[in-house]
Amino acid sequence: MITGRTQNLGVIGWPIAHSLSPVMQNAAIKQAGLDYNYTALPVAPENLPAAVAGLKAVHYRGWNVTIPHKAAIMPLLDEVDEAARIIGAVNTVLNDNGRLVGYNTDYLGFMGALNSRGIELSGKTAVLLGAGGAARAVVWGLLQAGTAEVVLAVRNPAKAQPLVEDFSPYGRVTVCHWAEDLFTEQLRKCSLLVNTTPLGMTPQVEACPPVVWEALNPKAFVYDIIYTPAQTRFLREARQHGHEAVNGEEMLAGQGAAALELWTGCQPDLDCMQKALHQALG
């Protein structure tokens, strides 16, 4: 029951009605018996400064941040965690007694699905399809895990170059074109193949990055950060070629769990969050 002592949490974005964060966060809050409440909050881009000031004024304990505010919110905060600064995006804000601190838990969510399966990437090669905003958190997570080389396979290498330059101080990051022979060579040696593009997402479910599956290392793990649909064409083809694969549901639940732990100091039930999310996705 919500009372005057209940601490408030939320997610801000525009639009936000589609967000599944309230479903999984409130499931974990209930499971843990915490006196918190989590709500979706629609915030138009032009109202972001006012919204941040308002949430601080009414003592929200914290909130998640989604499109289109992940970068725009950064100068409005008192402090930005190193990982969020390097990634260039904040997805979680903690109100620490009036001091707003920004974090990025997306990379933790991404790595969680790999860590839970015991996939060791230290000294290995990972190939990422795409180099957009979603790829930045993935690159940081992989470099933190000791991945020897992160290869960005893209349609436009020039557009990917800024990402290479931003992350090269922290590890080996290279880029190649999807149509180059180098892409095929990297597929043969990689231990992980990740789709960070929107290709295959609902409603364009038959879209798929141009992977030559016969060239991919037969032992490579395949990861699609898309979660709608649950099985993209990319994942379906990977499994047909004998690869172990996972979609983005665990990443979404994992980043939410990491955020909830920041706000409450309690480690939430990740299985509970994943189950609530899976049920909501149908």
Residue 183's pLDDT is 97
pLDDT in tens, 158-184: 999 999 999 999 999 999 999 999 999
What average pLDDT does the segment 67-90 reach? 98
pLDDT of residue 100 exceeding 90: yes
Confidence of residue 2 (pLDDT cuts 50, 70, 90): confident
Boundaries of domain holding 159: 118-243
Question: 109 lies in a domain?
Answer: no
The predicted model scores a pTM of 0.96
Residue 96's pLDDT is 97
Residue 1's pLDDT is 78
We report the CATH number of the domain holding residue 44 as 3.40.50.10860
- What per-residue string of b and e applies to 69-107 under the rule 16 or more CB within 10 Å gives b? bbeebbebbeebbebbebbbbbbbbbbeeeebbbbbbbb
Say how many residues make up the chain.
282
What average pLDDT does the segment 58-68 reach? 97
* 53 and 160 assigned to the same domain: no
* 220 and 126 assigned to the same domain: yes
- What per-residue string of b and e applies to 221-242 under the rule 16 or more CB within 10 Å gives b? bbbbbbbbbebbbbbbebeeee
* 57 and 125 assigned to the same domain: no
* 198 and 125 assigned to the same domain: yes
Number of domains composing the chain: 2
Q: Active site residue: 30, 56, 70, 189, which one?
A: 70
Within a 10 A sphere around the Cβ of 39, how many other Cβ atoms? Answer: 16
pLDDT in tens, 224-246: 999 999 999 999 999 999 999 99
The single-letter DSSP state of residue 45 is: G
Phi-psi region of 160 (alpha: psi -120 to 50; beta: other; left: phi over 0): alpha
Note if 30 is an active site residue: no
* 50 and 100 assigned to the same domain: yes
Question: 143 lies in a domain?
Answer: yes
